[in-house]
Amino acid sequence: MFALPVLLLTGCNGPQNKVDIADGNFLSGHNFKQLKNEIDSVIGVIEESHSIDVYYMRRPVFSWWMYKYSLAPMSEYSTVLKYLKLLQIELDKYPPGFLKKAGLKNIVLCKKTSILGDCVCGLADTVHKTVYLNYGGSKYAVVAGQKMVIHHEMYHIIEATFNGNSRYKDSVWIGFNDVEFKYDEAGLVCVSSDFDQGLQYHPEKGFVTQGARSAAWQDKAEVYAVLLVEETNVCVYDWMQEDEILRNKVNYMKEFLFKCFDEMTQDFWETLSTGPCTMPLELGGSFKETADSRFSAILDEDCSVELVSITKDANGIRKWWKPNGDQSEEPPFSIIETNTIGEVELIGSSE
């Protein structure tokens, strides 16, 4: 994740009209058309809802020569669609008109994002108001990490719009840290090798991630990102109870955002906190996506069991059993909808 404040246009790339096919895994004409229609449909909703342009087949007219990335090959369009659906959910967290007021104009879905040779998870061009997002792959082992990248890059655009520079030197923010602390000033928060190993959260008091220690402007973007992601924000509120530095930063961030966007009230933040915390509360823990406690149990110190899935017997022969051993005429779940894919029937459950 990286943002670079730029003042002069030093290079640009024209639109790319041809679809880049990076390997030999071609889709059939029918499947490609259907997949592309689905992608374009989701993009259409995003663009209309948030007044921005989303690119995946071609490049925006203006981009910086030091920003390197590749467009998605057709063989990865299914991954692009999956990421788009996640992106839509994350952008819909923002009130109508928010992204336009924040200054965002374009989102580019791409891969192999890098800045001056350093591989990163996302890029923010704060002059052309464009965010470049790596749509996935092995670098994204944790969904929460994908979400954080979206909001992290979004914050760089916000900072540039309202403070004039994404690297705005915020003396108040810096003053919250211990007097002895000095930022690394490396600037890079997320490089591919680090992401493969998982994100380290709350490495020390005052910082939500290890990358937040790199620079003040990255620290602010990381705090913003964890507040916008439901898997992480509840943990931040827990950490704040014993971490005065982090509490000051969060409160300061919320005050700044409310001055910029009057929709970002306490009610807005409460709607994002759906808990429970899925990260360790001790310093220096790594995020692990855990099973829903309703469907898992620890039997003893060395044994645990998790319910992975439930389905019905299509032939109606096998019966369900009640906890007391009696047969049950009704399955222990409610069918929301069924969707047949090949020979596999997926059943949604409300319980």
Q: pLDDT of 192-246, one tens digit each? A: 334 333 456 888 899 998 889 989 999 999 999 999 998 888 889 999 999 999 9
Which of 315-343 are b and which e, b meaning 16 or more Cβ less than 10 Å from the residue's Cβ? eeeeeeeeeeeeeeeebeeeeeeeeeeee
- Phi then psi dihedrals of residue 312, to 5 deg: -110, 160
Helix segments in the chain, DSSP class H = 29-50, 77-91, 98-102, 143-163, 171-175, 192-196, 216-228, 230-240, 244-260, 266-272
- For residues 152 and 221, is the Cβ–Cβ distance under 8 A? yes
pLDDT at 211: 85
What is the Cα–Cα distance from 262 to 11, expressed in whole angstroms?
Answer: 37
Predicted confidence at residue 118, as pLDDT, reads: 72
Cα separation of 220 and 155, whole Å? 8
User: C-alpha distances in angstroms, 37 versus 3, 41, 56, 108?
Assistant: 32, 6, 13, 18
**DSSP at 323:** T
Q: Based on the fold, state whether residues 176 and 315 are members of the same structural domain.
A: no
Chain mean pLDDT for the chain? 75
152 touches 189 (CB < 8 A): yes
Same-domain status, 188 and 252 = yes
Residues 262 and 327 in one domain: no
Same domain, 300 and 282: no
* pTM to 2 decimal places: 0.71
**Domain identity same for 186 and 325:** no
d(CA 174, CA 178): 9
In this structure, the answer to whether residues 308 and 335 fall within a common structural domain is yes
Alpha-carbon gap, residue 323 to 294, rounded angstroms: 16
Question: What CATH number is associated with residue 41?
Answer: 3.40.390
How many domains would you assign to the chain? 2
Kindly report which listed range (7-21, 51-65, 209-223, 242-256) carries the lowest average pLDDT score. 7-21
- Of 235, 267, 286, the domain-final residue: 286
pLDDT at 46 over 70: yes
Whether 92 and 170 share a structural domain: yes
Same structural domain, 120 and 95? yes
Domain termination residue (choose one: 286, 313, 339)? 286
**125 and 201 assigned to the same domain:** yes
- Answer yes or no: do 298 and 274 share one domain: no
> Is the domain of 321 the same as that of 199?
no
Domain that holds residue 281: 2-286
More confident residue, 119 or 98: 98
Q: Where among 267, 286, 305 does a domain terminate?
A: 286
211 and 79 belong to one structural domain: yes
